[in-house]
Amino acid sequence: MKIEINSEEKSLPTEIVSEIKKPKIAIVSLTSCEGCQFALLDLGEKFLEAMGLVEMVDFRLLEDEEDAGEPIDIGFVEGNPMTEANKKTLLELRKRSKLLVVIGNCAAMGGIPEIRNYHEKAQTVKHVYKYIQGIETEEVQEVDNFVKVDFTLPGCPITGEEFLKYFPILLENVKIGTELPKIPDSPVCVECKKKGNRCLLLDKKPCFGPMILGGCDAVCPSSRMGCQGCRGLRPTGNVKAMKMTLKQMMTDEEFENTTEIYGLRDNIEQWEKDHAA
């Protein structure tokens, strides 16, 4: 996916050639299922058209040559920094990127791997590996615990169309210094209503939608599955009111177990600390 400057471009003044050059980006995996990257590939031609605006220097699912480690404009990172090698990769990506963008629930909130933090690590790892000597079992932490994050595309996986919406805005930021985008503080419920869904809460079915940041096109409630919060809390989400509502539909243990699935539990605990009387 490297861009070649033709002979005609080589004869142009340096300042004009620099304008012809496209922004460089990298999409880098840490420890992950790579589902968010497949969500991008699922866009098909739309994704290829978007990538026509840039020079891709690293994307493991499409890679045809090794990343040279040069400075880039935007580094996209998916997954958890769960090993020393992951942490080194993340620190190097931050150092060489003008913008660092987190994609997906694992990188943003700890995701499903963070469930391990709430249980005995040594016992948990034994369910996966017969011999655990040499297996790293550090606490699972979000990317922003290690480096500065400029923008986050949440979700498990991310929504491809949302990526396409914000990608040009991010490019404008690195090109001319425009403001970084912000995902609107709107609940999943808004998207549910647009799709004509009957509210699951009316049928006494647990759904976290009112306190969760929208942008996923309400894919879970549209399948009659309650939102479990993979996109994280809205800035103005009311956790206290939501918990009171859900008490009529699920036990405290069920609530806690559900919030562990995508790493929402930590967010809720922090919200309760911040709003303690």
Domains with residue ranges and CATH for the chain? 7-176 (3.40.50.700), 188-274 (no CATH)
pLDDT at 19: 52
Confidence check: pLDDT of 192 > 50: yes
Report long-range pairs for 64-73 (Cβ below 8 Å, ≥24 apart).
Answer: 64/1, 65/2, 67/26, 69/96, 70/24, 70/96, 71/24, 71/96, 71/97, 71/98, 72/24, 72/25, 72/26, 72/96, 72/97, 72/98, 73/23, 73/24, 73/25, 73/97, 73/98, 73/99, 73/171, 73/174
pLDDT tier for residue 144 given thresholds of 50, 70 and 90: very high
Three-class DSSP category at 90: helix
For the entire predicted model, the pTM comes to: 0.88
Instruction: Write the pLDDT tens digit of every residue in 232-271.
Output: 999 999 999 999 999 999 999 999 999 999 999 999 999 9
Strand-pairing partners, residue 151, are 101
Find how far residue 87's CA is from the centre of its chain.
Answer: 17
| Of residues 70, 58, 64, 57, the one with CA closest to residue 29 | 58
